[in-house]
């Protein structure tokens, strides 16, 4: 059987990197298909939702939508709860991560620097604190989101926190989540995981 194929843009970020890291954490030896932006318009109509990432597994329908990919990988590899209620709790937080992305996306598209700065100031003053306080309430008091082992929800939280804590996003300070120790603890735990480290160190 051929390897699973995960397709995303050629960048270690966002929804694609969530899926790559989940697969790496699961120990799946997958084909990491990276497409160039110039090739995207031709490929887009052939994808399940007109978006990346998508996952191809021989003999199965192509899976689109990041959280569907993450929960599938999680269920097959012990990185998502088997209890449906606990799973739903994780999925709710995964959706909440996407809500933060959706709140930031308009400012990414703004071309007027002043408009962008003003939009980002509102995010820093209102959106991020409210989001952080909310998500903090859902995270347990051990290493990861729920206990001492990682789940796909941890990967999702890690990638979004890393994005903003990088200090590389204009007008968003690197300590934007500094007031949320549980969230930062999850970030640090995923970042230090040997399989995550190995994935990030590969050539």
Ligand X SMILES: N[C@@H](CCC(=O)N[C@@H](CS)C(=O)NCC(=O)O)C(=O)O
Footprint of ligand X (CB under 6 A): 14-15, 44, 51-52, 65-66
- Nearest approach in angstroms of CB 75 to ligand X is 17
Which CB, 155 or 189, lies closer to ligand X? 155
Q: At what angle do helices 14-26 and 152-165 cross, to 10 degrees?
A: 140
- Nearest approach in angstroms of CB 22 to ligand X is 13
Which CB, 40 or 60, lies closer to ligand X? 40
CA distance 163 to 108: 13
How many of the other CB atoms lie within 10 Å of CB of 70?
Answer: 28
Which CB, 6 or 189, lies closer to ligand X? 6
Residue 12 burial (C-beta neighbours within 10 Å; 0-12, 13-18, 19+): middle
- Nearest approach in angstroms of CB 122 to ligand X is 22
Give the residue at shortest CB distance from ligand X.
51
φ and ψ at residue 136, rounded to 5 degrees: -60, -35
Which CB, 18 or 154, lies closer to ligand X? 18
């Amino acid at each position: 059987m051929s390897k699973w194929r995960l397709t995303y843009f050629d960048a270690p970020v966002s929804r694609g990197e969530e899926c790559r890291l989940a697969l790496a954490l699961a120990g799946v030896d997958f084909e990491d298909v990276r497409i160039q932006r110039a090739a995207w318009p031709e490929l887009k109509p052939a994808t399940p939702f007109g978006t990346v990432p998508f996952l191809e597994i021989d003999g199965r329908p192509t899976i689109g939508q990041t959280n569907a990919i993450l929960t599938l990988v999680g269920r097959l590899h012990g990185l998502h709860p088997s209890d449906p209620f606990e799973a739903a709790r994780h999925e709710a937080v995964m959706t909440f991560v996407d809500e933060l992305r959706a709140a930031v996306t308009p400012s990414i598209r703004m071309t007027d620097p002043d408009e962008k700065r003003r939009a980002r100031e509102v995010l820093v003053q209102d959106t991020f604190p409210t989001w952080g306080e909310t998500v903090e309430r859902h995270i347990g008091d051990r290493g990861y989101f729920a206990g001492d082992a990682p789940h796909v929800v941890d990967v999702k939280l890690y990638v979004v926190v890393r994005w903003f804590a990088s200090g590389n996003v204009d007008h968003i300070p690197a300590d934007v989540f500094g007031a949320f120790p549980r969230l930062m603890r999850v970030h640090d735990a995923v970042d230090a995981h040997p399989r995550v480290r190995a994935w990030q160190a590969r050539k």
